[in-house]
Amino acid sequence: MIAFELIVDTPVDLEITGKFVAPSSDWIHLSRILQDYELIVMTEGVLYLAGDKTHFTVSKGEYLLLPPYTKQYGYQSSNCSFYWLHFKSPDGIKITDINGHTQNREDNKLLLPQYGSLKSLEKIIVMMKQLQDSVRGYNQKTLNNYMATVILCELYNQVFQSEHNPVKKTKQEQLYNDIVDYIKWSRSEHIKVSQIAAYFGYNEKYLSHLFTTISGISLKQYILQQKMELAKFLLSDTNQNVSEVSLQLGYKDCHNFMKSFKKIVGLTPTDFRNAYAKRLLFYE
C-alpha cells in the first residue's frame, strides 16, 4: 500500500471541508480530476470510490486519502455519509510504499497510509466538526490551516498508535484489551463492573484492580469516559436532542446524563453542541 509522507514544519493549506450525506440509496460519486489532496472519513454506510484504476471500498470507521491529479469516480451506488477535507502542502508530500517501511517517529513528519481504519472515529469527527465551525465562524485562514493539520496529526497517531505503544503479549494484557473492546461495543447500554466481571468469568475486585493497574484509571471511570466520548460524537454528528442522546447511552434519567457529561467534559451537553454548531453539510 502506498503512503504519503507529509512535513508539518508549517501547516497544510486547507482548501475546503464539509460533511456529505447521500441524498438517496442510488447515489454514485461524481467523476472528476482532483486538484489537491482529499481526506474522506466515513461515518455511515459504504463508499464505493475509484482512484485512477484502483477501486476502494470504504466503510464506517475507515478513511481514504487521495492525491492531486487522481481521476476520482464512483463505481457503484453508495448510501453513505462522510466528512471530507481538501488540502495542499506548501512543503510538498512524498509518496512512498509503506510495505516494509520502518516508521521512525519524527515530530515534523507524518506518514499517512492511503487507506486504513481509525481507532477513534468519534474523536476525528468531533475535530472535523470543530474545523467546520471555525471555517464558518472565523475568516482566519491560518487558524483553519492549523486545525486541518491537527486532524492529520491525529489521524497519524491513530494509525500508528499500536506501533508506538506495542501491546505486551501477556494474559493480563489480552484480558485488558478484551475488556476495552467489550466496553466500546456495549457503551450504549447500562454497563456495570459486575456485569463485565460476570461476562469474563473473573472476580469483580480482581478485574477492577487489573484494569486500574494497566490503564491508570478505574474500570468504572473508563466506562463513563467512553460513554461521554460517544455522547460527544452524537451531539456533534446528529440532530438528536439531549434526551434522545441520554436514552441511546442507556440513561433512564436525562439529568444524571447531563450531570455526568458536565463532570467529564466540563460543559453541559447543550453548551458542547452550541460551541461547535456550524456544521457544513453537502448533499451533492
Alpha-carbon distance of 139 to 126, in angstroms, equals 20
Query: pLDDT confidence of 166, banded at 50, 70, 90?
Result: very low
Confidence at 284, pLDDT banded by 50, 70, 90: low
User: How far apart are the C-alpha atoms of 42 and 84, rounded to whole Å?
Assistant: 9
Please classify residue 121 by burial: count the beta carbons closer than 10 Å to its beta carbon, then call 0-12 exposed, 13-18 middle and 19+ buried: buried
Q: What is the pLDDT of residues 115-157, one digit of tens each?
A: 999 988 988 998 999 999 899 888 799 999 999 999 999 999 9
Q: Mean pLDDT over residues 261-270, rounded? A: 91
Residue 283: the pLDDT is 57
What digits encode the pLDDT tens for the residues 11-38?
999 999 999 999 999 999 999 999 999 9
Grade residue 99 by pLDDT with cuts at 50, 70 and 90. low
What whole-number distance in Å separates Cα of residue 188 and Cα of residue 93? 40
- 168-214 pLDDT, tens digit each: 457 888 899 899 989 988 888 888 899 999 999 999 999 999 999 88
Per-residue pLDDT at 280: 67
**8 A C-beta contact, residue 115 and residue 62:** yes
Q: Which amino acid is at 24?
A: S
pLDDT digits (tens, 9 = 90+) for 46-90: 999 999 989 999 999 999 999 999 999 999 999 999 999 999 998
Instruction: For the chain, report the end-to-end CA distance as a whole number of angstroms.
Output: 30
CA distance 268 to 89: 37
- Structural domains in the chain, CATH included, are 2-164 (2.60.120.280), 171-275 (1.10.10.60)
**Angstrom distance (rounded) from CA 18 to CA 281:** 6
Percent of the chain residues topping a pLDDT of 90: 56
Q: When comparing pLDDT for 150 and 233, which is higher?
A: 150
Query: Is the four-CA dihedral 48, 119, 121, 177 of positive or negative sign?
Result: positive
- Span 245-273, mean pLDDT? 91
Strand order of the β-sheet with 2-7 is 93-97, 2-7, 109-113
**DSSP characters for the chain?**
-EEEEEE-SS--EEEEEEEEE-SSTT--PPPEE-SSEEEEEEEESEEEEEETTEEEEEETTEEEEE-TT-EEEESS----EEEEEEEE-TT-EEEEE-TT------TTEEEEESEEE-S-HHHHHHHHHHHHHHHHH---HHHHHHHHHHHHHHHHHHHTHHHHSPPP-SHHHHHHHHHHHHHHHHTTS---HHHHHHHHT--HHHHHHHHHHHHSS-HHHHHHHHHHHHHHHHHHH----HHHHHHHTT-S-HHHHHHHHHHHHSS-HHHHHHHT----EE--
What integer pLDDT is reported at residue 167 of this predicted model?
46
pLDDT value of residue 169: 55
Cell of 236: 456533534
Angle between helices 193-200 and 171-186 (to 10 degrees): 130
Say yes or no to pLDDT of 95 above 90: no
Q: Beta strands 281-282 and 13-21: pairing type? A: parallel
